[in-house]
Amino acid sequence: MAETIKIAYLYEDLMNTYGDSGDVKIMRYLLNQRGYDVTVDNISLGREFNAMDYDFVFFGGGQDYEQTVVARDVPRLTATLHEYIEAGNPMLAICGGYQFLGTEYKMVDGTTIECTGLLPLHTVFRPEARMIGDTEYETQWGIVKAFENHSGCTYFDDKDKLKPLGKMVTGFGNNPEEGYEGMQYKQTFGSYSHGPILRNRNIAEAFADMIQQRHEQRVGAQAVVTAD
């Protein structure tokens, strides 16, 4: 019987702009090809959640209204996500999900959405800086090609702790000034890349490797507990 890899999709029913669910579908396919069964749980409003039960956490993008709805619910997930992220487990957050990893999102009307505060970054909506179009950037796994469409400009508040996912070749990325796309902290990644990003086989295989390693560690730890 094949082992089962567990994926948590945070707010799948609310945060799925530009087909971000394609990232999860691609990852399921790759892991199936490696011989694993895969389950995907929609962790939505009010659902109980222990991130440490999972091998991969995915957080997609959403429009401003959906983000205000999620903002009222997501604080209850902060403690378990903190444990998961600090343990070095794999997580991918796209667009709105990426913004939620930070401290706040300042909207065009001046309203501030309080985010999780899990990582030292913040986002400001700048209507004059609409960033839309094809993107290309260099990562540790090679070139990634995707699509961006956002007016949220993300800035790191601790550049020693956070590293960019990639350096822009074409497009804007995090903001119009700095020339970098996305974020990496341990094995947590944020990105403005739709398309979806994991259609790039190089980065998809890298995530599959991280998820497989996490699964082996989780199952091994459970086996030790059972033996005791």
Let me know if 95 is a catalytic residue: yes
Instruction: Tell me how far apart the alpha carbons of residues 152 and 95 are, in angstroms, rounded to a whole number.
Output: 9
- Which is catalytic among the residues 122, 150, 194, 215? 194
Phi, psi of 54 (to 5 degrees): -120, 160
Please give the helix or strand (H or E) that residue 92 lies within, else none.
strand 91-94
Smallest CA-to-CA distance from 214 within 80, 101, 53, 60 is with 53
Let me know if 194 is a catalytic residue: yes
AA letter at 166:
G
206 CB-side CA count, 13 A = 19
Three-state helix/strand/coil letters over 44-83: CCCCCCCHHHCCEEEECCCCHHHHHHHHHHHHHHHHHHHH
Whether the link from the prior residue into 176 is cis, omega within 30° of 0, is no
Smallest CA-to-CA distance from 95 within 51, 157, 146 is with 146
- Which is catalytic among the residues 95, 122, 153, 215? 95
Catalytically active residues, by annotation: 95, 194
